Amino acid sequence: MSDVKKVVLAYSGGLDTSVIVKWLQEEYQCEVVTFTADLGQGEEVEPARAKAQALGVKEIYIEDLREEFVRDFVFPMFRANTVYEGEYLLGTSIARPLIAKRLIEIANETGADAISHGATGKGNDQVRFELGAYALKPGVKVIAPWREWDLTSRETLMNYCKEHNIPVDFSNAKKKSPYSMDANLLHISYEGDLLEDPWATAEDDMWRWSVSPEQAPDEATIIELGFEKGDAVSINGEKMSPATILETLNKLGGANGIGRDDLVENRFVGMKSRGCYETPGGTILLKAHRAMESITLDREAAHLKDEIMPRYAKVIYNGFWWSEERRMLQALIDASQEFVTGSVRLKLYKGNVIVEGRESPYSLFDSKVATFEDDAGAYDQKDAAGFIKLNALRMRIAAQKGRTFLDRK
Instruction: Say if residue 249 carries a ligand binding annotation.
Output: no
**Which pLDDT score, from 0 to 100, does residue 1 have?**
54
pLDDT in tens, 246-266: 999 999 999 999 999 999 999
Instruction: Say if residue 40 carries a ligand binding annotation.
Output: no
* 180 counts as catalytic: yes
Residues near 74 by beta carbon (within 8 Å), at least 6 away in sequence: 94, 185, 186, 242, 246, 282
Which residues does residue 262 pair with via DSSP β-bridges, in sequence order? Answer: 276
* Local mean pLDDT, 10-residue blocks, the chain (409 residues): 90 92 95 97 90 95 98 98 98 98 98 96 95 97 95 88 81 65 96 95 95 98 98 98 98 98 96 97 98 98 98 98 98 98 98 98 93 87 94 94 78
> Which amino acid does the sequence have at 118?
G
* 96 counts as catalytic: yes
Which residues does residue 66 pair with via DSSP β-bridges, in sequence order? Answer: none
* 16 counts as catalytic: yes
Alpha-carbon distance of 49 to 51, in angstroms, equals 5
Instruction: Say if residue 182 carries a ligand binding annotation.
Output: no
Question: Exposed/middle/buried for 254, CB within 10 Å: 0-12, 13-18, 19+?
Answer: buried
End-to-end CA, the chain: 73
Task: Determine the distance from the C-alpha atom of residue 139 to the mean position of all C-alpha atoms in its chain, rounded to a whole number.
Answer: 28
* 334 counts as catalytic: no
Helix boundaries (H) for 318-370: 324-336, 367-370
Instruction: Point out the catalytic residue in the list 72, 180, 334, 363.
Output: 180
**Which pLDDT score, from 0 to 100, does residue 409 have?**
63
**Which pLDDT score, from 0 to 100, does residue 2 have?**
75
Residue 325's SS3 state is helix
Q: How do the residues of the chain divide into helix, strand and coil, expressed in percent and rounded to 5?
A: 45, 20, 35
Backbone phi, then psi, for 207, in 5-degree steps?
Answer: -70, 135
Distances from the Cα of 14 to the Cα of 178, 294, 319, 340, angstroms: 14, 45, 24, 42
Instruction: Say if residue 124 carries a ligand binding annotation.
Output: yes
Residue 183's SS3 state is strand
**Which pLDDT score, from 0 to 100, does residue 176 have?**
62
Instruction: Say if residue 14 carries a ligand binding annotation.
Output: yes
What would the DSSP string read from start to end of 61-130? EEEE-HHHHIIIIIHHHHTTT--BTTTB--TTGGGHHHHHHHHHHHHHHHT-SEEE----TTSSHHHHHH
**Which pLDDT score, from 0 to 100, does residue 368 have?**
87
pLDDT in tens, 86-135: 999 999 999 999 999 999 999 999 999 999 999 999 999 999 999 999 99
Instruction: Say if residue 37 carries a ligand binding annotation.
Output: yes
**Which pLDDT score, from 0 to 100, does residue 408 have?**
67
Instruction: Point out the catalytic residue in the list 66, 79, 96, 358.
Output: 96
HEC readout, 37-51: EECCCCCCCCHHHHH
Instruction: Say if residue 189 carries a ligand binding annotation.
Output: yes
Instruction: Point out the catalytic residue in the list 38, 66, 125, 182.
Output: 125
pTM for this entry? 0.94
Q: Delineate the domains of the chain, giving CATH numbers in brackets.
A: 6-77+88-176 (3.40.50.620), 183-297+339-359 (3.90.1260.10)
**Which pLDDT score, from 0 to 100, does residue 404 have?**
83
**Which pLDDT score, from 0 to 100, does residue 227 have?**
98
Instruction: Say if residue 404 carries a ligand binding annotation.
Output: no
Ramachandran area for residue 377 (φ above 0: left; ψ -120 to 50: alpha; else beta)? left
